[in-house]
Amino acid sequence: MFYIKADRGITGDGKTVLAPVYVGVDGDTITYVSDQQPASIQQFDFVDMGDTTLTPGLLNLHDHVNRKILRDHPTDLPVTVRSKEFMSNSKEYMLLHGVKNVRDMLGEGVTFIRDFGLGGYTAVTLKRGIQEGLVIGPEMMVCGRPLCMTGGHCHKNAHEVDGVDGMIRGVREELKEGADFIKFMASGGLDQFPREDPKYPELTLEELKAGIGVAHDAGRPTTAHVYPKEAILRIIQAGIDCVEHGVMMDDECIDEMVKHNLPLVPTMTGMRGAYFIPPVSEARMKTRALLETRIWQPHNESVRKAVEAGLLVGTGTDSYGRLSDEIRLIAQAANRTPVQAIEHATSTSAKIIGRGDLGLLKEGRHANIAAFPGDLSKSLDTIDRAVQVWLHGKAVL
């Protein structure tokens, strides 16, 4: 048993700030949260973090953990070239990158990652390594390989399927390999924009229904990469559990998502990252204005409408983003205060994945806690890097 004290704490519910804050930890469980010093504090270990803000550990609900070198270590080559070169490496090499990256992400205050593949089954292996204590890293939820149509979005690193029978077999194969959830590539994306146009659906309603049905029969949740309205309405009709990106959502999409209580993980920073990580190729520079009109402005609007409609909007970075930037972009798009914005990365994201044991500084929750410098209740400027992180009650930084 020990106590952590800081000048302030944001509990993760979108409104509560305690100043100062005292958090008691016993094993991997939070046992005390208050702005009042407990009478028994002298009997236990005591950690005084001073001028910091305690938050629940942050959740990243959309990432590709082995690819962070593309974000963190720019070279003189455009990111598209580096991505192609990196993905041509062996899976063993990618796994080594994943080991480093999950440890680095703890330094960003991230204690939970939902990984979306694109590295074979390296994330499945990495998750096992973390569970067995071979690797230090956040808790993980993994999909294995996403399912796409032949030649569809990210097809070179996804599981290509066609037709109902192909989809059924594909989902079962991913479940066999250890998928915690199933991801469908339901539309085009920005991987090869503008040659690949994200406005087109890429899986039929029948294929989606079949795949989602198989996953649900196995007790696994489902989610889908999706941009355009037609594809969004299609995945909702098919029974999807979560929407990734949702760039071109309109009022009809929002209404349907409200009816079905569907959450959104917009990955705003990841979507922009590939076009701003230096050096930016000449071809990508030329597409920025078009992307601003067709993708980024509509995306901002969709996030604002989703939040105003009361949908759960979680945080995810995709390959190229940082969770701190994602929190800031959601705050900007939806006019959220710093305390409200942090809710998206904590209790809201925990609700999206059905983890009632995460996301709050509250008695009985898992002791995943991050300490950030300064006062996050006033500004998100210092949320990029944690000064200390406790994972399941143990200091890991």
Contact between residue 225 and residue 242 where contact means Cβ atoms under 8 Å apart: no
Q: In the predicted model, what is the mean pLDDT of residues 187-210?
A: 89
Say yes or no to pLDDT of 282 above 90.
no
Q: What is the model's pLDDT at position 119?
A: 92
Q: What's the pLDDT tens digit per position in 309-348?
A: 999 999 999 999 999 999 999 999 999 999 999 999 999 9
Say yes or no to pLDDT of 286 above 90.
no
Using CA atoms of 159, 164, 166, 172 in order, give the dihedral in degrees to the nearest 10.
70
Distances (CA, A) of 170 to 35, 75, 128, 146, 288: 52, 37, 22, 10, 36
Q: What's the pLDDT tens digit per position in 155-171?
A: 999 999 999 999 999 99
Q: What is the model's pLDDT at position 95?
A: 97
User: Of 151-155, 219-223, 367-371, 375-379, where does mean pLDDT reach its minimum?
Assistant: 151-155
Which domains does the chain carry? 2-56+359-395 (2.30.40.10), 59-352 (3.20.20.140)
Q: What's the pLDDT tens digit per position in 94-134?
A: 999 999 999 999 999 999 999 999 999 999 999 999 999 99
Q: In the predicted model, what is the mean pLDDT of residues 12-41?
A: 96
Partners of residue 187 on adjacent β-strands: 201
pLDDT over 90, % of the chain: 85
- The structure's pTM equals 0.96
Q: In the predicted model, what is the mean pLDDT of residues 268-294?
A: 84
Contact between residue 359 and residue 351 where contact means Cβ atoms under 8 Å apart: yes
